[in-house]
Structure 1
Amino acid sequence: MSKQKTHKGLAKRVKVTGSGKVRRYRSGASHLMSTKNAKRRRRLASSTLVKGANVAKIKRLLGA
């Protein structure tokens, strides 16, 4: 059986931290920012952690 390949599209979007948590960036922060208020722009600029069952799925796709 061959080795599983890393899902490159996902690898560009998330990062596994040293403690094993998965960090991602928020969507909707690339353009059309003038219509969004300052609080929303600040929130979109920050990263967040992936929650729940998605962590196991992401780690399997990354081979981590």
Structure 2
Amino acid sequence: TGSGKIKRKKAFKRHILTKKSSKTKRKLGESTIVTDADAPKVKELIPYKF
């Protein structure tokens, strides 16, 4: 992002969606920010971005 944080997609929205509510599926479709604790490891995995 513009502030240097890393965006990611949420898990659990690929299959077996029939038992999940519409609200849950909608929320899982949104992007979120990688936590501060995980950010250094993610930056190691994608060095071409930083």
* Correspondences of 1:20-59 after superposition (within 5 Å): 20-59=4-43
- Provide structure 1 residue ranges, at least 5 long, that are not aligned to the other structure: 1-16
What is the distance in 2 between the residues matched to 1:30 and 1:38?
A: 14
Runs of 4+ in 1 over 6 A off after TM superposition: none
**Percent identity of equivalent pairs:** 38
RMSD after superposition: 1.2
SS at match of 2:8: strand
Q: How many residues align?
A: 48
Q: TM-score, normalised by structure 2?
A: 0.79
Q: Which structure has the larger Rg? A: 1
What is the distance in 1 between the residues matched to 2:37 and 2:10?
A: 18
